Chains A and B, each alone.
Chain A
């Protein structure tokens, strides 16, 4: 690989070393080099939110980050968050409420929702709508997604379903 540079980072808890072209985005690195295809690419300009991953715990657009910028950092994708059980309340709520249709936006939506509901408070509906306003969904009317995030937040924060 001409011009490739070494990259070491932790992905879903596993220390990972690869040679990458400097122009490779983190999204392409995850999807192509590591075959972590739950991270989706919808617009490649940070507008749609399908590519959100956690970088050192913070949701970032992996299409706007070069892989080499993640050197030494901790990346968590939906695959890792699912495996650790971190997304379980959201997965259940999204499924029960049918808060997805084609599912292409869903991983990015889950990453963003996870970051929101693990802040330790239960957001109200306006706060949820505001928080996910960088995640385009073209299939649902967003309402089921807001419902599901609210339900998961209540569950996670020890409130009953009502």
Chain B
């Protein structure tokens, strides 16, 4: 299954057209990266480029009494020093709320603060100099006088009725509150055979993209135009934001994303330093580069998760889960992130809990709470790991209460594969999922009965192994019904421009972006098949607002599902144009022709009639030889927005096999299993490693990763020596199997696979550790499951 040599790896040198989609083809652009020819923003330099560094707040909450920048201004190599007031003259404030989240509130923000800092590490003063080192040297010379303010460092402090308000004038410290209720919750709890409860805590995690955030702003005052080279997922979103907040016409703002060294949701939010750098370039009238160093990344990149969930389930005597009731409290930082907000994760937690199962009633209460810590917002698999862990922890408790095997209790509760379409109690509309098939496949894949037998045998010898499973539902491909109606200018649509070049090759400009997932590779495969050419002659270009049509880009797994369908429809349109021109040349009917391997052929019989290169030569250089009135359009532009179900949903199930050392609290992850259904698979090679990467991020959350703070709101582990990221020696082989349930909303049928790995891996790991410890009456209810927490659960201290 996981051996490197057991599957064809695109070995066929000349692939036949029509066979690219579904094949494990390597990514063309990866050849550059393995040759050391990557071009990341961190690598770029422009003539006369300056470098920015920031003086940061040492306090989590304080008033700024005085700033003295004179010594810094006079330091060697310094071009300018800017404070909040300097940038406020150029940049309008922003507020991180969405209109459809009723009652949501958040303070207006500026690039740098005017009078108050709200988290430790917040940038206060910017220094721009000839080199980063000179800018950092001058930062040391800036004097700032602070006055301490009360710090909201934990949920209970912030939620207390008499808590100091983080924002003066706000009635409480809640950014957002939401509740859901459906069905006879209280009646079902009153009459249930068992009520099982859970009280779970989820640590703060952060993305740790290996390339930190980076951008170069290049403002040209002569034409009032701005170019930003930006390591981002979403160039069009930033084009809009830089345009509106700095008053530069949209058409004069260009955002270009070259190679991006990881993103995971981190690189689509507005950061204060990034907004500041635009203004710094306007003030300096020279290009200004800013690259967060790793310490800065830890205190300023978004954090995520940080939830405390109380949950209970009403369980029938037969193991059926009748109802669930949950309360989620999540701490987000001093404001809601712009423009996607910090409320989406909690919202998705309470709406995804119970999603794989047939509940009769559900109640949820969400509190999104301000804190004096780094902002939290959307990070890979937004809300999914929390919802999944809560649901699956309760499922294990239901199994224990009724004496059922974990597979059996799920089999009795999963939404049957023949029950679709259907709707969850939280309002999600499911087109078609495959939980039962995935469950059955996982059991075989894990060789579950053998693992159980082995577990019993090893337990007798004092070896504590555990098996955990966790089913998930993943949200993908949002329609405009999400950010659009919330008032955020974030596209649900994507666009493609495909062109036959004069030599008969193909250029595809597309708005979905590449951060290593393989966007360019799969778009090329789709265009090749639906146009009728070999992948080798298709060039895919992404990531530049000046070049590609407008679109939402790559987030929420929309690259294949929305970007792929856009490419498919555009390729079809172009093919029709090519055949029309060819028909005019050949005096044939377009319907009688086809395009195969860049040759126009007779649809019946397949006889080659004319090469694509010849069609292009005639159209571009000898249009005089075409019949009068021939419309020789060998470039098409096409936009596509999903319009069927509000979201596509994918599903799957994970299994985790661990061994816990009860002396040390260390866990060896023996193997991890995933059965996932992402709809139509464009490229299994990419899907599988994408899922594995997601699993490892989820296992990191389960065992290692946590942004830890002290009572003064200071991040105490803001480096890669202290914040533990999973390494190769700690990670198991990860066995992947697929189900394929294409969505019928698109012709392509792809749904997305980016979150599938992360959504359920930490839940499966939690269940596995608890399974291992069950005979010892120990239970973990907090992730990450560090050795200290495991030993504490074991009563070791």
Contact = CB atoms under 8 A, between A and B. Distances in A.
Contact of A103 (B3, B9, B33): B33
A44 B293 contact: yes
Interface string A126-145: 00111011111111111111
Interface stretch (B257-265, B347-355, B356-364, B579-587): B257-265
A44 B35 CA distance: 23
B685 interface: yes
Interface string B729-763: 11101100000000000000000000001000000
Given A42-B294, A43-B719, A138-B725, A37 B261 contact: no
A106 B32 CA distance: 11
Interface residues of B, dominant DSSP: loop
Contacts of B40: 37, 40, 104
Interface in B687-711: 689-693, 695-697
Contacts of A67: none
A82 B35 contact: yes
A148 interface: yes
Given A38-B38, A78-B36, A130 B211 contact: no
B9 A140 contact: no
Given A100-B30, A132-B728, A147-B4, A107 B516 contact: no
Contacts of B733: 143
Contacts of A82: 35-36
B26 interface: yes
Interface in B2-31: 2-5, 9-10, 26-27, 30-31
A110 B37 CA distance: 13
Contacts of B693: 101, 138-141
B211 A42 contact: yes
Contact of B515 (A2, A102, A150): A102
Contacts, number: 186
Given A136-B725, A148-B4, A94 B30 contact: yes
A47 B720 contact: yes
B223 interface: no
A117 interface: no
A54 interface: no
Interface in A5-49: 21, 23, 31, 37-38, 40-45, 47-48
B330 interface: no
B208 interface: yes
B689 A144 contact: yes
Task: Indicate the member of B30, B39, B263, B731 with the most A CB atoms within 10 Å.
Answer: B30
Contacts of A141: 689, 691-693, 695-696, 731, 734, 757
B209 interface: yes
B663 interface: no
A162 B5 contact: yes
Dominant SS at the A interface?
Answer: loop
A137 B725 CA distance: 9
A104 B733 CA distance: 22
B315 to A, nearest CB: 35
B720 A95 contact: no
B160 interface: no
B696 A102 contact: no
B611 interface: no
Interface in B37-71: 37-40, 42-43
Contacts of B725: 136, 138
B294 A140 contact: no
Contacts of A41: 42
Contacts of B264: 138
A135 B730 CA distance: 12
Of the candidates A45, A48, A101, the one having the most CB atoms from chain B within 10 angstroms of its own CB is A101
Contacts of B209: 102, 104, 138
Nearest to B731: A142
A45 B298 CA distance: 14
A31 B2 CA distance: 37
A146 interface: yes
A158 B385 CA distance: 45
Given A96-B26, A106-B34, A143-B734, A42 B719 contact: no
A118 B728 CA distance: 20
Contacts of A74: none
A102 B38 CA distance: 9
Contacts of A142: 692, 696, 727-728, 731
Contacts of B33: 100, 103, 106
A133 B30 contact: no
A95 B33 CA distance: 9
Interface in A67-90: 77-79, 82, 87, 90
Given A129-B729, A141-B734, A102 B27 contact: no
Contact of B34 (A94, A102, A104, A136): A94
B517 interface: yes
Given A101-B689, A144-B689, A40 B294 contact: no
B36 A38 contact: yes
Given A43-B294, A140-B693, A104 B38 contact: yes
A101 B3 CA distance: 19
Contact of B727 (A37, A44, A101, A136): A136
B671 to A, nearest CB: 11
Given A100-B33, A102-B209, A138-B264, 15 more contacts: A37-B38, A37-B40, A38-B37, A38-B38, A40-B261, A96-B9, A100-B516, A103-B33, A104-B259, A136-B208, A139-B693, A140-B692, A141-B696, A142-B731, A143-B733
30 contacts: A21-B133, A38-B36, A40-B42, A45-B294, A87-B34, A90-B34, A100-B33, A100-B34, A101-B262, A101-B515, A102-B211, A102-B262, A102-B515, A102-B516, A103-B34, A104-B38, A104-B40, A129-B729, A133-B728, A135-B727, A136-B725, A138-B693, A140-B692, A140-B696, A141-B689, A141-B696, A142-B692, A143-B692, A145-B728, A161-B5
Interface of A: 2, 21, 23, 31, 37-38, 40-45, 47-48, 50, 77-79, 82, 87, 90-91, 94-107, 110, 128-130, 132-148, 150-151, 161-162
Across the A-B interface, the 3 shortest Cβ-Cβ residue pairs: A141-B692, A38-B36, A103-B33
